Amino acid sequence: MDAMVDPAVDETHMAAAVELAWAGLGSVEPNPMVGCVIVRAGQVIGRGCHERFGEAHAEVNALHDCLQNGHDAKGATAYVTLEPCCHHGKTPPCADALIAAGLARVVIAVVDPFEQVSGGGVARLKDAGIEVDTGVAVELATNQLAAYLKRVRTGRPWVIAKWAMSMDGRIATATGQSQWITGESARREVHALRGRIDGIAVGMGTVLADDPLLTARPSGPRTLNRTLNRIVFAQTRVPPLDRQLVKTATKTPLWLIAGPLVRDADLAALSGHGARVIRCQNPDPIAMIDEALLRLGGRDNPGGTPLTNLMVEGGGRLLGSFAAAEQIDEAHVYIGSKLIGGQAAPGPVGDPGISQLNRSISLRVGSVDRFDDDVRIIYRKASQHR
């Protein structure tokens, strides 16, 4: 092990591990993105990340990289963005792999709140005589792990609100025309986002007005082979059987979040066409959202796999209900270069919304990007590490 511990050096190596972890975005869920860097005598001898769900974790890949590069990890320091697992899941415990490799020190950014880990990995490493430090670059890593951490701590997926609006804040003209407010480059970016999330939600108004397909059609060098769950919130009525969502339900999952006022016969007809149903007990839209998120984020949902990221695309009433429920964690706001005007032209977030300004959702600007003459602003909740 290195004779002296330099906090600045630890931060630098952990930042490199965080950067490695991003390669797993959209491929590892419901597992977390994790990166690992192994260092000896100031030299990086191994790098790895969790690349795909069900496959080797970051620590194992970094140890394998050491061997591939002709290095022995004995006596080295490992920088890991999330506490190494200590239980048998789809892969053996990573803590055991680090112990077997003879690591002298393990530096961890975030202690994993998952109940089967939750400090157990740290304890196992310490019991083996390995020096362990936690909380290094914790804010950087927590920001990256935000979606995973929310689901584990609250049982709900991370909610991304997305909308496109004109430069004066309209999502359509007064007559309802909305295609297209933004250009092709911005729309391609939306499909890239769809391609790496677990689910996309809309309300019945959008289904009836637009008859959307809600599939991901990403392009570019990193096109993920993911199945996007399409989710419709149906408070009192359900999609007609001739809608594209229903006709493709056997190929691409369609989930219906149904209120108690929806007729059983209508749900049975949709189930017969391949739709999965979550029947809510309370007709209030805010209560439906909370109940649905708990089901979607749990392993007892109709698909059997918890959703980590859920994007809400509209319409305005559904976005307004998510805002009122205080369940928007991130917003992707596309501002087109068009000017629409008109008091009757709708805005992106409708009723019920938030009635008191001091209860409004407050997010931070994460990034600002330009796509031709359109602009995207990504807002996110501040990282909360504990």
230 marked ligand binding residue: no
196: Cβ contacts below 8 Å, ≥ 6 apart:
25, 26, 27, 224, 226, 309
Per-residue pLDDT at 125 exceeds 90: yes
Q: What is the DSSP letter of 383?
A: P
User: Mean per-residue pLDDT for 310-325?
Assistant: 91
The pLDDT assigned to 124 comes to: 94
Per-residue pLDDT at 277 exceeds 60: yes
Which residues of the chain form CATH 3.40.430.10?
157-381
Q: Specify whether 11 is catalytic.
A: no
Which residues of the chain form CATH 3.40.140.10?
7-150
214 marked ligand binding residue: yes
The pLDDT assigned to 1 comes to: 47
151 marked ligand binding residue: no
* Domain 7-150 is found in CATH 3.40.50.300: no
Per-residue pLDDT at 247 exceeds 80: yes
Confidence of residue 225 (pLDDT cuts 50, 70, 90): low
380 marked ligand binding residue: no
CATH tag, 157-381: 3.40.430.10
Task: At 368, list the tokens.
Answer: 């600002």
Per-residue pLDDT at 118 exceeds 90: no
Task: Indicate the range of 69-78, 90-99, 149-158, 335-344 predicted with least confidence.
Answer: 90-99
How would you class 319 by CB atoms within 10 Å of its CB: exposed for 0-12, middle for 13-18, buried for 19 or more?
Answer: buried
158 marked ligand binding residue: no
Return the top range by mean pLDDT from 98-102, 223-227, 302-306. Answer: 98-102
Per-residue pLDDT at 221 exceeds 60: no
CA distance from start to end of the chain: 28
148, HSE (Cβ side, Cα atoms, 13 Å): 22
- pLDDT tens by residue, 142-194: 999 999 999 999 999 999 999 999 999 998 889 888 888 999 999 999 988 99
User: Mean per-residue pLDDT for 75-100?
Assistant: 89
Per-residue pLDDT at 105 exceeds 90: yes
Q: Which of 11, 19, 51, 59 is catalytic?
A: 59
The pLDDT assigned to 218 comes to: 65
- pLDDT tens by residue, 61-83: 999 999 999 999 999 999 999 99
Per-residue pLDDT at 9 exceeds 80: yes
